[in-house]
Amino acid sequence: MQLIKKDGIFIFWVVLFVHCGFIYFGKTEYRHITKLLLIPILFLYLVQNAKKGSYPNSKLIIYAGLIFSFLGDLFLIYTGTGFFIAGMVAFMLTHICYTTFFLKAGNIQFKKATEFFIAAILVTVLSIKLLQFLKPYLGNMEIPVKIYMAAICIMSASAANLLGNKMMKIIATTCFVPGAALFVLSDSVLALNQFLYKDPFLDIVVMLSYGYAQCLLVQGFAKYLKV
């Protein structure tokens, strides 16, 4: 476990790049294995680096978010609308957990929440534009996609809200905000590829941006839980 505690992030990136290699070369049976290793590595890294006996509620929220992420990765390995919806639900629960943590770490003070409102406007506009573009291809998935996008918009805005918190500003700037932004990017590309392009190269873009997002967020959680 000391190896994970010290070099967990490096190991994560090695596995992620190997996973992207499997995608590129069409090694489906192997890419499923590497994909399901990513979140457990980050989970163990976080558990090993978190201060023992502190922040029990925050830990519970964060760990739940990562477990839902793992389930989302598991469901999205399989094809079919049912598995895709299950994956969306799992990741929506991840966003709810992350949002809960961000709001717990720094409440929104609406008179001073400039960062929150700017981020909310930006991601909402992006989501609306993406929905307008994808609408002809969504079919009966339009409402689930809208609900999911609302969840990730709220998560991103709540992460940006921490920029106005003196205690959290450094972690928010280096980890939470870029992590949330990369999550939005990853999900946007995933939606485009799922409903329109069907391009294997975009699977690599999705995984790199998703992996980097989760990595940054977990590093931020670890820094917070070390204090």
User: How confident is the model over 158-185, as pLDDT tens digits?
Assistant: 999 999 888 899 999 999 999 999 999 9
Query: Residue written as tokens 């163990």?
Result: 44
Residue 96: C-alpha distances to residues 64, 101, 218 (Å): 10, 9, 16
Structure confidence at residue 227 as a pLDDT band (50, 70, 90):
low
Q: Is 55 left (phi over 0), alpha (psi -120 to 50) or beta?
A: left
pLDDT for the residue 107: 78
Residue 200: C-alpha distances to residues 65, 67, 130, 159, 209 (Å): 27, 26, 20, 31, 15
Give the pLDDT mean for 197-214. 96
Instruction: Give pLDDT tens digits for 46-96.
Output: 999 998 988 999 999 999 999 999 999 999 999 899 999 999 999 999 999
Structure confidence at residue 152 as a pLDDT band (50, 70, 90):
very high
